[in-house]
C-alpha cells in the first residue's frame, strides 16, 4: 500500500468537550469524583473525554454506545455545531492536513462544512429546513458551495434525490410531510450534494421501521461502494454498526472503551460493556 492510502483523511487527537461551566471538582475530566462523567457538584458533563481516532479513505467507522455516551456530541463537534473544549482535528485535504480545524476561523469552518464534510443528524429537524422543498434543501447546500446556475442546481438536485430513491414528483414538496425514512434519505442526499470526502451519520436509522431501516442501510452501503466516501456511523444499535462498519469504536460515558475491527469486537469483546452489547445481539 502506498503512503497516500495509509494516511488518514481525518485524524482527531485528544478531543474533549464539557457542557456546563465546570467547577473546581471538574476542571479536567480526571478531577471528576467517581466514575460518572457528570459532576455531582455543578452538573457539568464531560461528554467527550480524550477522544482520539483516525478515519481512512473509503472506510466506514462505527461508533456505538448507550444513550448519553457522547456519540452525537462527538460528530456534532466534528461538524462545528458546538465548540470543543480542547483537542485537535486535521483533515488531509485541508491545508495539507497541517491545520487544527477546531481553531480555524468561522469562514474556514464554513468552507470545510460546505466542501469537505456532510452531516446527517439524528433529528431530521436539525438537518433539514422543513419549510423548504426537498429540492430547495439541496439547492441551499449547492448555493453555499458557490453554484448559482438555477438549471444546473435543479438538475443536480433531481439526480441526488433520484439516487436516494425519492420520486422526482416529490422534489417540490416539503420534507415535513414525508415519512421518517424519506426525511433521512433527503438528509443523506443533501449531505452528499457537494461530494464530501467525509460523511457523518448520526443514528440514521433510529426510530424507523425495520423494513425502512434496511433500505436506508442498503443506501448507505451503495453510496460507500460507488463514491468511496469515508463515513463515521453513529448508533446505539450494534446490529446497525455490524451491518455497516469495518472498524468499530465503543463509547461509554464520554470515553472510548474499546476499538478494533468490527468482526474482532463481535467475536472477542474485551470490555465488560462491549460484552454486554454483543450478548444483547445474540
Footprint of Zn ion (CB under 5 A): 23, 25-26, 39, 41-42, 44
Q: What is the DSSP letter of 114?
A: I
The answer to whether residues 130 and 174 touch, using CB atoms and an 8 Å cutoff, is yes
Binding of residue 47 to ligand ATP (CB under 6 A): yes
User: Please, which residue, 166 or 208, has the CB nearer to ligand ATP?
Assistant: 208
Binding of residue 235 to Mg ion (CB under 5 A): no
**Cα–Cα distance, 20 to 25 (Å, whole number):** 13
Span near ligand ATP by CB under 6 A; candidates 2-10, 25-33, 71-79, 210-218: 71-79
Binding of residue 236 to ligand ATP (CB under 6 A): yes
User: Please, which residue, 47 or 160, has the CB nearer to ligand ATP?
Assistant: 47
Interface residue with Mg ion, options 16, 44, 72, 248 (CB under 5 A): 72
257 phi and psi angles, rounded to 5 deg: -105, -15
> Which option in ligand ATP, Mg ion, Zn ion, none does residue 45 bind, with CB closer than 5 to 8 A by kind?
ligand ATP
Binding of residue 134 to ligand ATP (CB under 6 A): no
Pairing status of strand 247-252 against strand 86-91: unpaired
Q: Which three cell numbers stand for residue 22?
A: 465546570
Query: Counting Cβ atoms within 10 Å, is residue 142 exposed (0-12), middle (13-18) or buried (19+)?
Result: buried
> Which option in Mg ion, ligand ATP, Zn ion, none does residue 67 bind, with CB closer than 5 to 8 A by kind?
ligand ATP
**Cα–Cα distance, 53 to 261 (Å, whole number):** 13
User: Please, which residue, 253 or 262, has the CB nearer to ligand ATP?
Assistant: 253
Cite the DSSP H helix spans in 9-132: 71-78, 106-111, 124-127
User: Please, which residue, 37 or 134, has the CB nearer to ligand ATP?
Assistant: 37
> Which option in ligand ATP, Mg ion, Zn ion, none does residue 47 bind, with CB closer than 5 to 8 A by kind?
ligand ATP
> Which option in Zn ion, Mg ion, ligand ATP, none does residue 19 bind, with CB closer than 5 to 8 A by kind?
ligand ATP
Query: Distance between the two ends of the chain, CA-based, in angstroms?
Result: 37
User: Please, which residue, 122 or 213, has the CB nearer to Mg ion?
Assistant: 122
Site for ligand ATP in 85-124 (CB under 6 A): 122
Q: Which three cell numbers stand for residue 98?
A: 497541517
247 phi and psi angles, rounded to 5 deg: -120, 150
Amino acid at each position: 500500500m502506498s503512503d497516500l492510502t495509509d494516511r488518514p483523511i481525518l485524524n482527531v487527537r485528544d478531543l474533549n468537550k464539557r457542557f456546563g461551566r465546570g467547577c473546581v471538582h471538574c476542571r479536567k475530566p480526571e478531577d471528576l469524583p467517581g466514575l460518572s462523567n457528570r459532576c455531582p457538584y455543578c452538573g457539568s458533563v464531560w461528554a467527550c473525554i480524550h477522544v482520539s481516532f483516525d478515519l481512512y479513505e473509503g472506510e466506514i467507522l462505527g461508533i456505538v454506545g448507550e444513550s448519553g455516551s457522547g456519540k452525537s456530541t462527538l460528530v456534532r463537534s466534528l461538524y462545528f455545531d458546538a465548540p470543543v473544549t480542547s483537542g485537535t482535528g486535521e483533515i488531509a485535504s485541508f491545508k495539507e492536513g497541517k491545520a487544527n480545524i477546531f481553531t480555524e476561523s468561522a469562514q474556514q469552518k464554513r468552507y470545510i462544512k460546505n466542501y469537505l464534510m456532510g452531516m446527517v443528524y439524528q433529528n431530521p429537524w436539525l438537518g433539514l429546513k422543513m419549510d423548504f422543498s426537498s429540492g430547495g434543501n439541496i439547492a441551499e447546500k449547492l448555493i453555499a458551495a458557490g453554484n448559482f446556475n438555477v438549471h444546473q442546481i435543479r438538475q443536480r438536485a433531481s439526480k441526488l434525490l433520484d439516487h436516494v430513491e425519492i420520486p422526482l414528483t416529490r422534489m417540490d414538496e416539503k420534507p415535513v410531510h414525508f415519512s421518517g425514512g424519506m426525511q433521512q434519505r433527503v438528509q443523506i442526499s443533501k449531505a452528499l450534494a457537494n461530494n464530501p470526502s467525509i460523511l457523518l451519520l448520526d443514528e440514521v436509522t433510529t426510530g424507523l421501521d425495520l423494513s425502512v431501516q434496511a433500505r436506508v442501510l442498503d443506501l448507505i452501503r451503495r453510496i460507500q461502494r460507488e463514491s468511496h466516501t469515508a463515513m463515521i456511523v453513529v448508533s446505539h444499535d450494534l446490529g446497525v454498526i455490524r451491518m455497516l462498519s469495518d472498524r468499530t469504536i465503543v463509547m461509554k460515558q464520554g470515553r472510548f472503551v474499546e476499538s478494533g475491527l468490527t468482526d474482532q469486537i463481535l467475536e472477542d469483546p474485551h470490555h465488560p460493556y462491549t460484552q454486554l452489547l454483543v450478548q444483547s445481539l445474540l
